[in-house]
Structure 1
Amino acid sequence: MAHSSRLTLSASAARAAAAVVDDDDNLDEEPGEEIESAPPLRVGEEREIGGAGLRKKLLRPGRGWETPVLGDEVTVHYEGRLLDGRKFESTRDRGEPLTFELGGEQGIAGLDQGIITMKRGELALFTLPCSSGYRHAAAQGVPPDADMQFEVELLSWLTVMDICKDGGIVKKVLSGGDDRQTGDLDEVTVKYQVRLLDGTIVAETPEGGFEFCVNQGHLCPALPKIVNTMRRGEKAFVTIQPQYAFGEAGREAINGLPAIPSNAVLNIEVELVSLKPVVDVTGDMKVLKKILRAGEGLRTPNSGETVCVRYTAMFKGGTTFEKVGFDGESFQFIIDEEQVIAGLDRAVSTMLKGELSELTIEPEYAFGNDEAKRDVTIIPSSSTLIYVVELLDFTKEKDIREMTGLEKIQAAEGTKSSGNDLFKNGKFERAAKKYDKAARYIDGEGTFEDNEEKLVKSLRISCWLNSAACCLKLKDFQGAIRLCSQVLDNEFCNVKALYRRAQAYIEAADLDLAKLDIQKALELDPKNKEMKSLQMTLKQLQAEKNRRDAKLYANMFQWTRKDADVMVKKLKVGKPQGDEREGSAEVEASNLENYMRCERKVAEKEVKCDRETQAMEVVDATCAGDREMADSVGR
């Protein structure tokens, strides 16, 4: 029954192809794949294809640039002749083209590699050597040692996709869509009709289609997988094996439609009518943006730019609690300045001018665990909110490439100053963004006058150091190490960079590298109080590490104590007899001596640790470091 369905589909596909081959409006709707090869053939030119002796002569060029691939279902007219001109086969004489799968058993053996080089509407003459294995040669009266020629016209093809790579879901593209590919989070509207192999309709959508989220699924496990491979406007015919349909359980009759039997194979005709792209703005699924209307251009607002929006804010249940910008005056705010809730700020920064989107904002990016008041409405704590936002316009900062050297310096200084204010207010993440942005203004080499270079270098180093201070506060110690290393690559004797990198090394438990930075800094500035304080902290940490090591060594050798006591007793009890006893006694004495040496080392290390701890002053280095960091960032 499955085979019968396949033949029916092929015949219908052939009739459809013959009907539309002359329709220029539909010529470029079906997707294919461009084959990289030698320069295109000119009309009348002949060339060998592949290494099996197949030759191709172009008789009429095709249209477009797409070509079929192995596995696609192609529809062709062809005529076979011997080299002396005798015709042995022709679809034109039969009055119906041939539809077959490229690379399949129903095709013309030897011609597959030639047809995948053809474009829609192309006419070519292929010469096949007798070794090509043409399966109908004997039936058509072709001598076994005769070369053949086939004149082939490629009418159309259907792209075939094995979605799960196991034959479980096979999709044939009937007509292509636009360039918008479906994503897992998108909300789609589809039309479909599902049939059993005998043609019985067992499921179908209303006339307008059915809307659902791809990742939430619908109908059966196969449908979201199918939709995830489709483009907007695409139509496809899909064969679904039971494991991706309704399996052994089948499905009961519903809504006046028959039941689906156990282990039924399904054929589904599906059309992706529309889709609303959904974007995970924050990367943790807590701020989702569903695009209701696409914007224009490619540019989105950057940090520090003023945006002009209007929005409607609702609770998840649909109750509106705020409308802004609809009274003739639009609402403005500055991106990344915490003038609106974080989710709205982050989402608007991803929008294009004119875009209309629906935002779903979880509490973490809204008002958190706090209550909030908007007009006369109280927003309960931990509320998930919905915003329908339209980005009307936004100011565009002057492109860095268009700035003069002086303008870049002024922009960097202003941005750095904003970062300093944020740092003093404890907003370290936002401050770090400001410092990074300031550094980008003056990142280019060779764009400044000679009298500006010294100022630029100083400003750049200051931005890196301040950004490193933010990294320390945010516990991004590797980031702090990287930034301080950048400073030291430019100024190897920068004490502040050595100090902050040493702090980061200590926090990262790399005490040896921290010690090197501290020693170098004290060589440069022996009276530096903050560095001395950090050195005391390092000594304390090193002493604690030594104590831990001593305890570890003690545990390692504790298991030998009992054996050592036994050795001592044996040596005291009696004298060894004979050479064997003497050798054994010497080994035991050596083991005892080694054990006692290890015990002495452990005891010496413990004494040394105690002395270092007793001699050490208790200094709150962290507080001192914070005071120094805040003072220096303020400069």
Structure 2
Amino acid sequence: ETIIYLRYAPHTEGAATASGNNRAAFHWRPIHLVKQEGTGTELPMTGDKVFVHYVGTLLDGTPFDSSRERGEKFSFELGKGQVIKAWDLGVATMKVGEISQLICKPEYAYGTAGSPPKIPPNATLVFQVELFEFRGEDITEGEDGGIIRRIITKGEGYTKPNEGAAVEVCLEGSCEGKVFDKRELKFELGDGESLGLPSGVEKALMAMEQGEESLFIIKPKYGYGNTGNSKYNIPGEATLQYKLKLTTFEKAKESWEMNSAEKLEQSIIVKEKGTQYFKEGKYRQASVQYKRIVSWLENESSLPEGEEQKAQALRLAAHLNLAMCFLKLQEPSSTFDNCDKALELDDTNEKALFRRGEALFAMKEFDRARADFQRVIQLYPSNKAAKSQVALCQKQIKEQHEKDKRLYANMFQKFAERDAKVRQTALSPYTLFLIHFVTLQSKM
């Protein structure tokens, strides 16, 4: 058996180590007996989701809990305090496939309180644990697996950078094992694209604490997409790996920290910034700036007299510009949402109606798209682009009708053939003989 000791000094948090060196300087207690070696060399990191089976007993062998009896693996996030301290320390030293016995002294288990009724106070516990799998933390909003974090060094505090925060970061980007970018940067979150950073890096930074160092696996959606990056020789659809250290940051003012005058002033500034990004073809960065205007002004109810119209004009422009950004980014549902918001502010707005029609066309909702373009023509008869779009919609609707007709015709043909086959196979020779016999009898 391999023994891994828990090292701890008085008034010092415990830490796990794989050797027994310098034992005289610390108090040591064995907690980790390896019963079956695991495979590979990789160990789980803080924040990883680990999947285990375990059997828990008291020191005298009395069982009190078993995931194996339940027939379902147990999972938890390592190092987040979701389990007893001995587990956070012990499982962090295990490899996939390893089976170990964790001997947990009370101070690393349930302490003086115990866990009634099965675990008495000051109980030493024994767990046999098998590690099946561990995976990094998915930090994307929809948990689509696009950005996975592995924490190397935990950060300090609980606050994280927000949109517009000034950050200092050390980064190292690699693809297929080759480092393509290694820099120390100071910038505002939202400006990363101008520095050649993929959107996933900024999203990653917004999930970090000060002083944290982490490894991020970034899928193409949050990396350089299907086009890649020619400067760094990154091919399309490449998965990237970034090691990031957030040295320090200063949060941008939140909406609730600003008065109405500040919100209006800052909205004008970021609108210009967004417009400049849009002109440069940096649509994602532009959208970040326009979103800030919406967040500042959308629910503002304490504007000075005479400033309401200015705020409404800024909000309208922000939604229209966001709609255009998302069209360029081929995200029609987001375009549609922003056009709806713009039309709530101005229900006859030409750009909002036209762009919503474009979004619906991209979503293959040709009838609804045609209705929006026809509304544009009704309100603005000189809009030639809307007339062209109506013609395109009608063409698509006609093609869809023809396609549906062919589809249904084929379906009906198949149903008819199947029914005929069923009727044929259902009449056995004996049945046909009876029918023929009855027919002859009726004629006699």
TM over 0.5: yes
- For residue 471 of structure 1, report the CA deviation from its aligned partner: 2.6
Alignment partner of 1:430 is 2:309: no
Please tell me whether the aligned partners of residues 277 and 291 of structure 1 are also in contact (alpha carbons under 8 angstroms): no
Residue equivalent to 1:308:
168
Residue 332 of structure 1, aligned match among 172, 180, 186: 186
Alignment partner of 1:211 is 2:98: no
Residue equivalent to 1:542:
397
Q: How does 1:188-587 map to 2 (within 5 A)?
A: 189-190=89-90, 211-212=93-94, 217-220=96-99, 234-235=108-109, 268-269=126-127, 279-282=137-140, 283=143, 284=145, 287-296=148-157, 298-310=158-170, 331-337=185-191, 338=193, 339=195, 341-342=197-198, 344-353=201-210, 355-361=211-217, 364=220, 385=241, 387=243, 389-391=245-247, 393-548=248-403, 551=406
Q: Distance in 1 between matches of 2:180 and 2:376?
A: 58
Residue 181 of structure 1, aligned match among 63, 82, 93: 82
- For residue 452 of structure 1, report the CA deviation from its aligned partner: 0.7
Larger Rg: 1
Q: Distance in 2 between matches of 1:520 and 1:528?
A: 11
Normalised to the residue count of structure 1, the TM-score between the two structures is 0.42
Letter aligned with residue 98 of structure 2? L
Gaps of 5+ in 1: 1-71, 75-98, 102-158, 171-176, 192-209, 237-266, 326-330, 560-635
**For the structure 1 residues 546 and 429, does the alpha-carbon distance in structure 2 shift closer, same or farther, using more than 3 Å as the test?**
same
Please tell me whether the aligned partners of residues 146 and 219 of structure 2 are also in contact (alpha carbons under 8 angstroms): no
- For residue 506 of structure 1, report the CA deviation from its aligned partner: 2.2
Aligned length: 326
- For residue 401 of structure 1, report the CA deviation from its aligned partner: 1.6
**Which fold has the larger relative contact order, with Cα–Cα distance below 8 Å and residues 6 or more apart in sequence?**
2
Letter aligned with residue 235 of structure 1? A
Q: How does 1:592-603 map to 2 (within 5 A)?
A: none
- For residue 321 of structure 1, report the CA deviation from its aligned partner: 9.4
- For residue 350 of structure 1, report the CA deviation from its aligned partner: 1.7
Please tell me whether the aligned partners of residues 209 and 246 of structure 2 are also in contact (alpha carbons under 8 angstroms): no
Please tell me whether the aligned partners of residues 287 and 360 of structure 1 are also in contact (alpha carbons under 8 angstroms): yes
**For the structure 1 residues 270 and 515, does the alpha-carbon distance in structure 2 shift closer, same or farther, using more than 3 Å as the test?**
same
SS in 1 for 2:333: helix
Identity over aligned residues, as a percent?
24
- For residue 291 of structure 1, report the CA deviation from its aligned partner: 4.5
Q: Distance in 2 between matches of 1:363 and 1:292?
A: 23
**For the structure 1 residues 390 and 490, does the alpha-carbon distance in structure 2 shift closer, same or farther, using more than 3 Å as the test?**
closer
Q: Distance in 2 between matches of 1:475 and 1:507?
A: 8
SS in 1 for 2:90: strand
- For residue 398 of structure 1, report the CA deviation from its aligned partner: 2.3
Letter aligned with residue 204 of structure 2? A
**For the structure 1 residues 490 and 313, does the alpha-carbon distance in structure 2 shift closer, same or farther, using more than 3 Å as the test?**
closer
Please tell me whether the aligned partners of residues 295 and 351 of structure 1 are also in contact (alpha carbons under 8 angstroms): no
Q: Distance in 2 between matches of 1:190 and 1:530?
A: 66
Gaps of 5+ in 2: 1-55, 111-124, 415-444
| Cα-to-partner distance string for 1:381-416 (whole Å, 9 max, x where unaligned) | 97965636242x222222322322221112122222
Please tell me whether the aligned partners of residues 360 and 387 of structure 1 are also in contact (alpha carbons under 8 angstroms): yes
Letter aligned with residue 330 of structure 2? K
| Cα-to-partner distance string for 1:319-378 (whole Å, 9 max, x where unaligned) | 9998766xxxxx41222322264354333222222x2313244585778966878xxxx9
Q: Distance in 2 between matches of 1:323 and 1:413?
A: 35
Residue equivalent to 2:436:
none
Please tell me whether the aligned partners of residues 419 and 432 of structure 1 are also in contact (alpha carbons under 8 angstroms): yes
Q: Distance in 1 between matches of 2:218 and 2:82?
A: 27
SS in 1 for 2:70: coil
